[in-house]
A and B are shown apart, each in its own frame.
Chain A
Amino acid sequence: MLDIATAYNKYKFLGNDYLTWIWFLIETDYNISSLLNSKEIVTLEVGNSIVLENKLGDKSKEKITIKGDQAGLEEGTTALKKGAWVTQINLICKINEDEFKFTIKGESLNITGLKPPKTKLSKKEDEIEGLVLEKSFFCFQIFEVIDTLFLKYLEQRISDDWNSKGLQDIKNWIGSF
């Protein structure tokens, strides 16, 4: 394995490219459940924010933040056309009836502000173990979706028809705005 700090910086683009792909999947109504080979019904929606970055001519970077529950994403798609990439996105993931809201960062795939489904269990002494197990399960569930999709994305990126199909589909999507 590479040195951790070097590997983090060298391959953080894979996380950012992955988030752009997720946005593409959402906007083109891709069937996430079949992509995951999941028996559960898994859907994704863009939540209330997207952050993109673009390299300017010199060493500086441009950061484009779109926030708000009803925010239009046109500025984001325009930024993609100009060569930007997604660095952070707020997502709503539904697994059957359960809803998860969270923000995911491309470079680390860490999640912040995760709101898992509500639970009926309380912090009372006789319910604490059940509460911990239920909350743990939610945590495992959402990371399972994130990791599985990430690895599916990489499978596509290294497939022989990526340039003619996968990448072209994303370019067509971006070009459609």
Chain B
Amino acid sequence: MGLISSTHSISRYHIDGKIEGSIIEIVKTGLMKYSIPKLESEYDEISAGWTPVESPYTPDFEKFSFQFGTYFLFSLRIDKKSIPVKLIQKYMVLEIEKKKEKLGRDFISKNEKLEIKEMVIDILMHKIPAIPNIYDILWNYEENNIYLYTTQKAANEFFETLFLKSFKLKPIRLFPYTIIETKSKFLNPQKDRVLTLAPLKYSRKSYA
């Protein structure tokens, strides 16, 4: 559900600080350095990186734009391998039977079972393709705002880590407290008053 889809889920960030130097070049360098690898690693359970909005499966920032008007728009792609439990169960049963036959026993120990499980997961992890998830990022650089088109916690965490690494700028997630800190024009005494507020109660007792 990205920026150009018909429905959006959005979490927001305030960016602490500014880029020093040529903004567009530095953004481009950060995007290219931390773009998702073109070739999938068969060993990684999860990999994440930037990719152009117009070309999510070929991360080429030379060919595809990340600048639209005065905004930056690109995507975070998170590829995750996920092995269905039933598949693990199937190969466990097959491997346990093989092992019993090989050892000439009709049972195997708990430790042997664990070893088989690890081996099965390892083999399947190499074979199974990763599932890509793509989340758009709209960066209003002038206003220090970022709109991440997802509210999934895991995607937020990947974004925060990768953004800091790529641009050396800290994204601060926006929620009631941080909106007050970054967007209000409250003077310190007013801010102090806000921060000493307590939840309201509207219950019947209060009408007395």
Contacts and interface: CB of A to CB of B under 8 A. Distances in A.
B194 A154 contact: yes
B28 to A, nearest CB: 17
Interface in B74-118: none
Interface stretch (B42-50, B120-128, B178-186): B178-186
B69 interface: yes
Given A115-B7, A136-B71, A154-B184, A128 B54 contact: yes
Contacts of A139: 3, 8, 10, 138, 147
A112 B199 CA distance: 24
A137 to B, nearest CB: 10
B9 A110 contact: yes
Given A110-B151, A139-B8, A14 B203 contact: no
Given A110-B10, A143-B12, A150-B176, A131 B202 contact: no
A4 B206 contact: no
Interface string A4-23: 10011011111111101000
Interface stretch (A39-47, A62-70, A89-97, A167-175): A167-175
A108 interface: yes
Interface of A is mostly: helix
A158 B179 contact: no
B156 to A, nearest CB: 10
B45 to A, nearest CB: 26
A69 to B, nearest CB: 17
B73 interface: yes
Nearest to B172: A4
A54 to B, nearest CB: 9
B197 interface: yes
A20 B199 CA distance: 11
Contacts of A175: 207
B4 A132 contact: yes
B4 A133 contact: no
A132 B73 contact: yes
Nearest to A18: B176
Name the residue in B11, B138, B177, B194 with the highest tally of chain A Cβ atoms < 10 Å from its Cβ.
B177
